Amino acid sequence: MPNITTFTFVFIGGALGSLLRWGLGSAIYERYTGKFPLGTFVINVTGAFVMGLLSTLMGVDWRDRFGSFFTAFVLTGLLGGYTTFSSYELDTVTAYNKRERGIALLYWVGSVAAGLLAAALGWWIAIQIS
């Protein structure tokens, strides 16, 4: 697949994934007002699950992130745009600087622990059904 096609798919996927992240995050924070950054947490953990599931189902090596419609549009674009590492760290720093150190630590470690488990669960389910 030519580079320009790959980049177009990544752009569209990234735009749609980001819109979904913003929409879902806004919907969660409209209903939930606790101190724990639940919106980004839910987004990142669900995105990790889908990444593990789809990569395994489609037989895509984790090192392969471009060159086909699926890797460019779905994995790099949609899922990459949907999940975010920068907001994860910004949420952590924000809680930490507000002296909500317990929440900061729980979120900082908990997001990665839950993300690792969610991606592994996606892989396991893919193995069972394929």
Partner 1 sequence: MLKNMFLVMLGGGIGAVVREALIMVVPQLPGGSEAPIFVANMTAALLIGLTAGLAVKDGIIGPAGKLFIATGIMGGLSTFSSFVWGADKMLADPSLRLRGLLFVAASMIFGFLLVQSGLWIGQRLISRSN
Residue number, 26 or 32, with CB nearest to partner 1? 26
* Calpha distance 66→110 (Å, rounded): 30
Does 42 interact with partner 1 (rule: CB under 8 A)?
no
Question: What SS3 state is found at 58?
Answer: coil
d(CA 62, CA 65): 7
Query: Could you tell me the two tokens for 81?
Result: 């745009």
The minimum distance between CB 2 and partner 1, in angstroms, equals: 13
Total residues binding partner 1 (CB under 8 A): 56
> Using CB under 8 A, which of 37, 39, 44, 107 touches partner 1?
44
Which has the closest alpha carbon to 52: 130, 129, 128, 125? 125
Please report how many Cα atoms fall inside a 13 Å half-sphere around the Cα of residue 110, on the Cβ side.
14
Give the number of other CB atoms < 10 A from CB of residue 19. 12
Convert residues 69-98 into a mask of x (bound to partner 1 by CB under 8 A) and - (unbound).
---x--xxx-xxxxxxxxxxxx-xxx-xx-
Q: Which of 37, 51, 95, 103 binds partner 1 (CB under 8 A)?
A: 51
- The residue ranges that bind partner 1 (CB under 8 A) are 6-7, 10-19, 21-22, 44, 47-48, 50-52, 55, 62-63, 65-66, 72, 75-77, 79-90, 92-94, 96-97, 108-109, 111-112, 115-116, 118-120, 123
